[in-house]
Amino acid sequence: MARNPKKHTKPNRNSFLDDLEPTLRTSKRGKALKYVKYQKLLLKTHPEFSEKWVQERIAEDPAILGLGELILKDKERNQPGAGRLDLLFQDPDSNLRYEVEVQLGKTDESHIIRTIEYWDLERKRYPQYDHM
């Protein structure tokens, strides 16, 4: 009589994410992490998240730009005869300034021109700084 050993089979899962529960976990660094399932989010048409919301997040934490540690110098900076620059940052260790314009969705030609215009105005008004 032949023995029929029970085979160990894995439960049927759609993906490895099925093993993860959306609960708090602790990372290697001791910080609490929360698994959040991916969800497509269109900021341009979202009722809660707007261009202003994105601007505020960047102002609160400029490191998300990936440019190193920056100091927020101004928000909605008036540009004489041209409009308002969304954000102005400065590198604390140099004379380098960053003019930042936020736009959700496709960048159109007029926004590109406006961004260059703001950069140029800042460069002319404050020539003692290097502008990016």
Question: pTM of the full predicted structure?
Answer: 0.67
- Average pLDDT for the chain: 81
Mind listing the pLDDT tens digit for each residue in 72-111? 999 999 998 889 999 999 999 999 999 999 988 888 899 8
Q: Which long-range contacts (CB under 8 A, 24 or more apart) does 121-124 make?
A: 121/79, 121/80, 121/82, 122/79, 122/85, 122/88, 122/97
C-alpha count within 13 angstroms, C-beta hemisphere, residue 59: 17
Going along the chain from its start, the domains and CATH numbers come out as 43-131 (3.40.1350)
Tell me which of 4 and 128 has the higher pLDDT: 128
- 70 CB-contact burial (10 Å; exposed 0-12 / middle 13-18 / buried 19+): buried
Mind listing the pLDDT tens digit for each residue in 37-66? 888 877 778 888 888 999 999 999 999 999
